[in-house]
Amino acid sequence: MFIFKGLAIAAGIGALLSSAAWAEGLQGKVIGFSQIGSESGWRAAETSVTKAEAEARGVDLKFADAQQKQENQIKAIRGFIAQGVDAILVAPVVSTGWEEVLTEAKEAAIPVVLLDRGVDAPQDLYLTSVASDQVKEGRVAGEWLVGAVGDKDCKIVELQGTVGSSPAINRKQGFEEAIAGKANLSIIRSQTGDFTRSKGKEVMEGFIKAENGGAGICAVYAHNDDMAVGAIQAIKDAGLKPGTDILVTSIDAVPDIFAAMVAGEANATVELTPNMAGPAFDALDAFLNAGTVPEKFIITESKLYTPADDPQGEYDRRKGLGY
């Protein structure tokens, strides 16, 4: 049976030393972090929060930016394994293609924690996954829209996240569940904007052009706020009012979407905390020092924000957090 390195150490030194190990926390531990890249404000904040959490706990964090490429992530993980790190954090860009490298980490007895996205791989290949319920996020965004339009006909355009990523797959599913059975709501166009502001704008421009200058569009659902902000610009460039002529609902709760709410240009967002590292380090601390195996899925909150929720205050609260 496979035993992670921390569990073997904890079992080996026994209960006598475990309280001393607890007191040390993650001080001096070497932890590799394979980050996707910097496609969105939320991603930048997650990177900043992870680095700050590592510093506060005395972790020697080895950071690798994959520039949106899975092959770079796999290379980075293999590098961490070769260095013999104590643990690995990975935010997987897409959900498939991880089994081989995760098996290599397992064989090296290095615990892996998934951050913010899921993988299609056997669950025994990673220690835990810290992420939101992405289906719920889509459902919350969709339920808001259902309530906002009431009986009115509403043709929706959708900006999807990165193709093959778990949030793109799950947020689509959740939103579709929310509008299922509502005959007055339908998604008329759906395309990836790759979670970036520039692509979100570009794709929205195409939607507006294809839909009679935007006249046929009632709402845009973007899988993240950055694409929504890009879409807002495209709507304005087309001479329409975002937030009024075309409703805007998205996910993340980054400062810029609250600024757009203050301006009356965005209608709803679902919060995704950028602090995935806090729960991840807590789980690793307990595991490496005491052999405590965490829950397989540590789920973060998915709270809806609208202009009724003090967007200026929310902007102010978030703006220093590295977004």
Residues 126-185 that bind ligand AHR (CB under 6 A): 167
Which CB atom, from 193 or from 311, has the smaller least distance to ligand AHR? 193
| Site map 87..126 versus ligand AHR, x via CB under 6 A | -----------------------------xx---------
Residue 95 or 267: the one with the smaller Cβ distance to ligand AHR is: 95
Picking from 299, 288, 289, 301, the residue whose alpha carbon sits closest to that of residue 127 is 288
Q: Comparing C-alpha atoms, which of 282, 264, 267, 271 is closest to residue 314?
A: 271
Quote the CA–CA distance of 233 and 312 in Å, as a whole number: 20
43 binds ligand AHR (CB under 6 A): yes
- Within 10 Å of residue 58's Cβ, how many Cβ atoms? 12
Query: Phi, psi (5° rounding) for residue 255?
Result: -55, -40
Question: Minimum distance from CB of 171 to ligand AHR (Å)?
Answer: 8
Cβ nearer to ligand AHR, comparing 192 with 289? 192
Instruction: Name residues contacting ligand AHR, limited to 12-31 (CB under 6 A).
Output: none
How many other C-beta atoms can be found within 10 angstroms of the C-beta atom of residue 169?
Answer: 22
**Which of 116/256 has CB closer to ligand AHR?**
116
Q: Is residue 251 a contact residue for ligand AHR (CB under 6 A)? A: yes
**Nearest approach, Cβ of 130 to ligand AHR (angstroms)?**
11
Q: How far is the CB of 116 from ligand AHR (least distance, A)?
A: 4
The yes or no reply on residue 271 touching ligand AHR (CB under 6 A) is no
Shortest distance in whole angstroms from residue 251 CB to ligand AHR: 6
Closest CA to 142 of 92, 179, 109, 110: 179
Q: Point out which span in 36-44, 228-236, 284-292, 306-314 binds ligand AHR (CB under 6 A).
A: 36-44
Among 70, 224, 289, 302, binds ligand AHR (CB under 6 A): 224
Contact call for residue 265 and ligand AHR (CB under 6 A): no
Query: Dihedral angle at the C-alpha atoms of 195, 199, 200, 203, nearest 10 degrees?
Result: -130
Give 37 or 291: the residue with its C-beta nearer to ligand AHR.
Answer: 37
Q: Does 39 bind ligand AHR (CB under 6 A)?
A: yes
> Smaller CB distance to ligand AHR: residue 50 or 289?
50
Of 73 and 289, which has the nearer Cβ to ligand AHR? 73
CB of 252 to ligand AHR, least distance (A): 5
Q: Footprint of ligand AHR on this chain (CB under 6 A)?
A: 39-40, 42-43, 116-117, 167, 195, 224, 226, 251-252, 272
